[in-house]
C-alpha cells in the first residue's frame, strides 16, 4: 500500500476508535470484543460455506478467516488476536507484514480457546459476532452478546465512509469494470451466459467465492428475473443484463448494465437508452438533505414517463405512479447502502440509537429510507422489466386501459433492463464512482 493509502487507513482506524468509544459510553460498556466469524457447515455434510467475515470486524481490519478477535477499550490501542492453527489439510499462509499490523496490539494463537484468553473476562464487556457461546464461556453475559443498542450505533456509523473506505470502494469499481468490459466483449461475440460469466471472472482475476455476490447474467427473458443466477449454455442472446461486482480489502462494488445487439427490437433498444439517461438524471438529483424515498419516487415518475413516451403506458409518469401502474415494471427499490456488505447495514434505521424508518407502503422493498447525507455511499439502480406475474393482475383489473398490452406482449421476450451505479454523496451533490470506469 502507498504511503498515502497507509495514512488514510490510520485515519480510518482513529475514527473507528473514536466512534466506538462513544457508542460504548452511550450504552454503558467498558470494552467491546468483535469476532471475525465461525465457519458454517452445510446440514448433514462436511463442507463449509464460503466465510463472510462479520462486517463490524471487517470495519476495523481486512483480515480474512474465522475466529479472529478484536478487543476495543477506550484510550487503549486495539488488540487483534489472529487464530492461525497448525493444519496440513488447508493452507495457513503466514501473516507477513500487512500494512495494518503496527496499528494493533497483535497476537497470534493456534486455537479459538487461546484467543479468548486474551479477551477481557470481567467488567461491562460487550460482544458482537456469531459465536456468543464462546463469549459467554469467557465471562460475557448473555445480555451483553450482540446488544441491540450498541449494534444499532455501530450500524449507523457504517453509513458514513472514510477516505480509506472510499479508496477501497473505488478500487473495487475498477476491478468490476474490467469484468464488465470483458463480459460485453464476450456478449458481442455471441457468448452464452456461462461463457460471459467465465469471461467476467477471468478479467476480475478472482474465483467465484471471492465475488461479493453471485453474478447475475441473463440473456433475453431471464433479465426479468431480478436475482437470476442460472448460467445457460445457449449462445447468441439479443439482450444481456449483467449485475456483478468485485471486492477490494473487504469492500464491494455492485454494478449493473444492460446491453443489446443490433438484432434486438428497436423499441427495446430505445428503452435501454432511455433508462441509461434517466439513471443519470437520478444521480444528478442526489444532494444532502433529500430523503432517499423521494429519490425513489422520482425514479417511478421518470420510468412512467419513458413508458408513456413509447406508448407502453397510456398515462404520464406522475399519473402512472399515483395509480400504481409503474410498480409492475419497477418492483424493487432504487438502491441500498454499499460498503463492507453489498446491502450494507442501517439503510432503514431511524436514528443512531435504533428504531426503524419503514419504506413507503407503495414501495415495500425499498432498502434505504434515511435522509441522504455527505459521505454516504449507495447504489442507484432503476429497472424496467416485463414480468408476467406482476402484470397479470392488471390485464383485467380497473387500470387495464392504462397499458398497451400488445406492445407489452411483444417486448416480454427481451426480459428487462437495470442500470446501476455506485455514488458517493458530497457536500454539494455526488461523485459517481462507477461511470469513470465503465
Q: Which CATH number is 351's domain given?
A: 3.90.230.10
d(CA 21, CA 74): 6
Residue 104 lies in a domain: yes
The whole-number pLDDT of residue 122 equals 84
**HEC profile for 206-222?**
CCHHHCCCCCEEEEHHH
Among 141, 157, 173, residue at a domain's last position: 157
What cell does 349 get? 434505521
Distance between CA atoms of 167 and 190, rounded to whole angstroms? Answer: 35
Residues 153 and 302 in one domain: no
**What is the residue range of 67's domain?**
3-157
Residue 31 lies in a domain: yes
Kindly state whether residues 136 and 220 are assigned to the same domain.
no
pLDDT at 352: 98
Q: Judge whether 383 and 415 are in contact, CB under 8 Å.
A: no
Per the structure block, which three cell numbers stand in for 341? 456488505
Residue 153 sits in the same domain as residue 167: no
Query: Residue 412 corresponds to which cell in the numbers above?
Result: 416480454
Q: Which helix (H) or strand (E) holds 173?
A: helix 163-188
Q: What is the dihedral of CA 182, 188, 194, 200, to 10 degrees?
A: 10
- The pLDDT assigned to 93 comes to 85
How many residues are there in the chain? Answer: 438
Rounded-to-integer distance, Cα 406 and Cα 394, Å: 14
Determine, yes or no, domain membership for 438: no
Q: Residue 53, Cα to own-chain centre: how many angstroms?
A: 14
Q: Are residues 244 and 384 in the same domain?
A: yes
Together in a domain, 328 and 205: yes
Domain boundary among 157, 186, 219: 157
Is there a single domain that holds both residue 221 and residue 238?
yes
- The answer to whether residues 225 and 291 belong to one domain is yes
Is 437 within the bounds of a domain?
no
Which SS3 state, helix, strand or coil, does residue 69 take? strand
Question: Which three cell numbers, joined as nine digits, stand for 148?
Answer: 441491540
Of 58, 72, 81, 246, nearest in space to 164 by CA: 58
Our count of domains for the chain comes to 2
Identify the segments of the chain with pLDDT beneath 70.
none
118 belongs to a structural domain: yes
Assess whether 300 and 366 both reside in one domain.
yes
In a domain, 281, yes or no: yes
Give the CATH number, domain containing residue 83.
Answer: 3.40.350.10
Q: What local confidence, expressed as pLDDT, does residue 90 receive?
A: 86
Average pLDDT, the chain: 97
Same domain, 150 and 187: no
As a whole number of angstroms, the distance between CA 94 and CA 341 comes to: 26
* Cell numbers given for 344: 450494507
Look at residue 8 in the predicted model and tell me its pLDDT: 98
Contact 173, 433 (CB under 8 A): yes
Cα–Cα dist 88/84, whole Å: 12
Distance CA 144, CA 132 (A): 9
Task: With beta carbons less than 8 A apart as the criterion, state whether 33 and 119 touch.
Answer: yes
Helix/strand/coil for 235: coil
**How many Å apart are CA 243 and CA 421, to the nearest integer?**
11
Give me the numbers of helices (H) and strands (E) for the chain, helices first please. 12, 17
Query: Is residue 135 one of the residues assigned to a domain?
Result: yes
pLDDT at 1: 85
39 and 182 co-located in one domain: no
CA distance 202 to 198: 6
Q: Any idea what DSSP says for residue 343?
A: S
Q: How many C-beta atoms surround the C-beta of residue 117 within 10 A?
A: 12
Please report the pLDDT score of residue 54 as a whole number: 98
pLDDT score at 195: 98
In a domain, 56, yes or no: yes
User: CB of 318 within 8 A of CB of 326?
Assistant: no
pLDDT, residue 91, reads 86
Instruction: Specify whether the CB–CB gap between 23 and 34 falls below 8 A.
Output: no
From 126, 157, 188, give the residue that closes a domain: 157
What is the per-residue pLDDT for 428? 95
Q: How far is CA 283 from the centre of its chain?
A: 17
CA distance 114 to 105: 16
Compute the distance between CA of residue 381 and CA of residue 365 in angstroms, rounded to an integer: 13
Instruction: Specify whether 200 is located in the same domain as 268.
Output: yes
DSSP character for 262?
A: T
Q: Are residues 144 and 176 in the same domain?
A: no
Amino acid at each position: 500500500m502507498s504511503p498515502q493509502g497507509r495514512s488514510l487507513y490510520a485515519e480510518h482506524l482513529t475514527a473507528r476508535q473514536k466512534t466506538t468509544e462513544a457508542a460504548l459510553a452511550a450504552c454503558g460498556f467498558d470494552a467491546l470484543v468483535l469476532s471475525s466469524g465461525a465457519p458454517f457447515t452445510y446440514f448433514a455434510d462436511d463442507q463449509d460455506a464460503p466465510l463472510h467475515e462479520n462486517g463490524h470486524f471487517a470495519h476495523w481490519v481486512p483480515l480474512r478467516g474465522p475466529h479472529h478477535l478484536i478487543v476495543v477499550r477506550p484510550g487503549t490501542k486495539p488488540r487483534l488476536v489472529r487464530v492461525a492453527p497448525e493444519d496440513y489439510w488447508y493452507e495457513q499462509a503466514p501473516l507477513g507484514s500487512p500494512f495494518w499490523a503496527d496499528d494493533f496490539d497483535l497476537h497470534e494463537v493456534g486455537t479459538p480457546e487461546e484467543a479468548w484468553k486474551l479477551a477481557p473476562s470481567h467488567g461491562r464487556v460487550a460482544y458482537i459476532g456469531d459465536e456468543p457461546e464462546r463469549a459467554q464461556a469467557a465471562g460475557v453475559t448473555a445480555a451483553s452478546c450482540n446488544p441491540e443498542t450498541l449494534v444499532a450505533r455501530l450500524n449507523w456509523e457504517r453509513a458514513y465512509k472514510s477516505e480509506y473506505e472510499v479508496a477501497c470502494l473505488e478500487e473495487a469499481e475498477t476491478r468490476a469494470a474490467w469484468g464488465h468490459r470483458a463480459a460485453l466483449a464476450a456478449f458481442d461475440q455471441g457468448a452464452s451466459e456461462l461463457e460471459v460469466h467465465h469471461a467476467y471472472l477471468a478479467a476480475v482475476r478472482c474465483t467465484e467465492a471471492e465475488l461479493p455476490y453471485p453474478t447475475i447474467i441473463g440473456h433475453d427473458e431471464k433479465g426479468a428475473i431480478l436475482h437470476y443466477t442460472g448460467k445457460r449454455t445457449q449462445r447468441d442472446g439479443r439482450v444481456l443484463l449483467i449485475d456483478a461486482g468485485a471486492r477490494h480489502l473487504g469492500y464491494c462494488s455492485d454494478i449493473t448494465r444492460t446491453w443489446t445487439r443490433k438484432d434486438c427490437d428497436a423499441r427495446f433498444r430505445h428503452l435501454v437508452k432511455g433508462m441509461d439517461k434517466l439513471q443519470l438524471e437520478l444521480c444528478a438529483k442526489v444532494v444532502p438533505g433529500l430523503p432517499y424515498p423521494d429519490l425513489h419516487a422520482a425514479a417511478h415518475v421518470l420510468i412512467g414517463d419513458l413508458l408513456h413516451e413509447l406508448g407502453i403506458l397510456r398515462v404520464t409518469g406522475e399519473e402512472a405512479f399515483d395509480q400504481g401502474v409503474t410498480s409492475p415494471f419497477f418492483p424493487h427499490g432504487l438502491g441500498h447502502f454499499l460498503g463492507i456488505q453489498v446491502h450494507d447495514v442501517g439503510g432503514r434505521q431511524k436514528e443512531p440509537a435504533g428504531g426503524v424508518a419503514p419504506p413507503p407502503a407503495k414501495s415495500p422493498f425499498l432498502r434505504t429510507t434515511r435522509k441522504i447525507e455527505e459521505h454516504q455511499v449507495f447504489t442507484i439502480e432503476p429497472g424496467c422489466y416485463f414480468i408476467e406475474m406482476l402484470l397479470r393482475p392488471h390485464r383485467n383489473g380497473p387500470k387495464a386501459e392504462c397499458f398497451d398490452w400488445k406492445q407489452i406482449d411483444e417486448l416480454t421476450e427481451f426480459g428487462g433492463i437495470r442500470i446501476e451505479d455506485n455514488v458517493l454523496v458530497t457536500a454539494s451533490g455526488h461523485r459517481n464512482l462507477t461511470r469513470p470506469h465503465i
